[in-house]
Amino acid sequence: MDNVTHTLFALTLARTPLGRGRGATAALVLASSAPDSDIVAAMSGGASYLAWHRGPTHGPLGIVGLGLLTAAIVWTGRRLLRGGQMDGPATPFTRLVAISVVGVFAHILMDLPTSYGTRFLSPFSWRWFAIDIMPIVDVYLLAVLAGGLLLGGRSDGSRRVSVAIVLTLMVANYGLRTFAHQEALKRADRLFSPTLPRPCDPATQSRGTLISSWPGPVSPGTMSGFGASLARSTVAETRDAGRSGARPCLLETAAIPRFLSPFRWRVIARTSNAYDLYDIDVTDARLRSRTPPAGLLTAISTRISDERNAFTDEAARAPTVRALLDFARFPQAQVVADSSGGVTVQIRDMRFDTGSGENTPLQRRRTSLFTATVRIGAQ
């Protein structure tokens, strides 16, 4: 989630018994944003930030280490200001540590349901995990948290009531999005599964599991570079499907939330040589019908090819592309030749595709989020 949401949630928690004692609110607020201190990696460039964001600061060491650091900062600051006018008893250091750990853990827990995902086991494991029910910024969650803080500050009783209402509405929001997420997957499966190829590996096929995780396993020596990054979740016998001309197979299906409406989803079906995208509105009664109106399914679906060849493998040697491929859940590549004998390779993560198709000029597409463009000369 964004830092404004994290801060508002910390201030909401401060109105519970967690916020009792001098320094407790400050500890919650600082701890709620502490994991995103990995923004310092951006000083070395966007690829460095992508490589480190939601890494160790969002893992077990980050929870303990940042909890201790936050408590130490608040405790030190309180001692430096002890000559000033302060209200209430001081919070013991051990309780400050516990409160700070809760704040850091709450941050990580709120990042998990986003489609961006988080690496809550790093540095012990660099796998990404996501539940795919929340956008990075949820305007409804922001409104609930801000409204609760504005309306519940008149007395202790009103604060307790506002916290209860806010937490109830938060649970309802997450519950509604979880239900809509599953409905989007079910309708996409019912409407479009006949048009999709068979699963690459039925035993490990990911079709709308609650917690998604990537990258999948890859056998040493089977593929390298970009091809390996694209095929981590396939089994050995289908790993070269995109290169050898073998029959395409289905790797994974996921539903990604849209920004404004909790009822609108981008369903991504990843095959061994393309992506099928479906824009699903779970409130659309036409999609509940067994025989949707003519042209409707075509209007809400898009197929984008996914190229894999020597050029994409060469492009994957670039450090920026390697950083993107370590992050990208649905990497898609396009290769365009030019008159000088060179090629341009563009790689993007389809989770953050803004709707540009294959015919969109590369120059316009390269401004999209999480897109890398590599120029390979004729030599």
User: What is the residue-wise DSSP string for 189-236?
Assistant: HHHHGGGSPPBS-TTT-EES-SSEEES----TTT--HHHHHHTTTS-G
- Final residue before a domain boundary, out of 112, 140, 175: 175
User: What is the residue-wise DSSP string for 108-133?
Assistant: HHHHTTBTT-B-TTTTT---EEE---
Question: Same domain, yes or no, for 251 and 312?
Answer: yes
When pLDDT is averaged across residues 291-301 and rounded to a whole number, the result is 88
Residue 241, domain extent: 180-376
Residue 359 scores a pLDDT above 80: no
Residue 103 scores a pLDDT above 90: yes
Task: Report the C-alpha gap between 3 and 31 in whole angstroms.
Answer: 11
Residue 219 scores a pLDDT above 90: no
- List residues bridging with 206 in a β-sheet: 252
Residue 216 scores a pLDDT above 60: yes
Predicted pLDDT of residue 155: 72
Q: What is the number of structural domains in the chain?
A: 2
Residue 314 scores a pLDDT above 90: yes
Residue 238 scores a pLDDT above 50: no
Single pTM value for the model: 0.86
Question: Same domain, yes or no, for 138 and 211?
Answer: no
Question: Same domain, yes or no, for 159 and 208?
Answer: no
Choose the weakest-confidence range: 16-20, 67-71, 111-115, 243-247. 243-247
Question: Same domain, yes or no, for 246 and 271?
Answer: yes
- Final residue before a domain boundary, out of 141, 160, 175: 175
**Dihedral, CA atoms, 311, 317, 323, 325, nearest 10 degrees?**
40
Task: Report the C-alpha gap between 305 and 302 in whole angstroms.
Answer: 10
Residue 239 scores a pLDDT above 50: no
- List residues bridging with 334 in a β-sheet: 346
Question: Same domain, yes or no, for 68 and 89?
Answer: yes
With contact defined as beta carbons under 8 Å apart, do 221 and 228 qualify? no
Predicted pLDDT of residue 158: 81
The angle at the Cα of 34, spanning 70 to 128, to the nearest 5 degrees, equals: 135
Record the tokens describing residue 358, joined without a space: 């294959």
Predicted pLDDT of residue 222: 29
Predicted pLDDT of residue 233: 34
Question: Same domain, yes or no, for 91 and 233?
Answer: no
Q: What is the pLDDT of residues 47-69, one digit of tens each?
A: 999 999 999 999 999 999 999 99
Q: What is the pLDDT of residues 147-184, one digit of tens each?
A: 999 887 667 778 889 999 999 999 999 999 999 999 99
Predicted pLDDT of residue 208: 53
Mean of all residue pLDDT scores within the chain: 86
Question: Same domain, yes or no, for 45 and 149?
Answer: yes
Task: Report the C-alpha gap between 208 and 267 in whole angstroms.
Answer: 10
Question: Same domain, yes or no, for 158 and 199?
Answer: no
Please name the residue that has the structure tokens 């608040």.
74
Question: Same domain, yes or no, for 120 and 247?
Answer: no
- Final residue before a domain boundary, out of 152, 175, 198: 175
Question: Same domain, yes or no, for 80 and 196?
Answer: no
Which percentage of the chain shows pLDDT scores above 70?
A: 84
- List residues bridging with 267 in a β-sheet: 255, 278
Residue 336: band (very low, low, confident or very high) from pLDDT cuts 50, 70, 90: very high
With contact defined as beta carbons under 8 Å apart, do 6 and 160 qualify? no
Beta pairing class for 250-257 and 264-271: antiparallel
Predicted pLDDT of residue 230: 44
Question: Same domain, yes or no, for 289 and 229?
Answer: yes
Question: Same domain, yes or no, for 204 and 104?
Answer: no
Q: What is the pLDDT of residues 155-164, one digit of tens each?
A: 777 888 999 9
Task: Report the C-alpha gap between 299 and 148 in whole angstroms.
Answer: 41
Residue 229 scores a pLDDT above 60: no
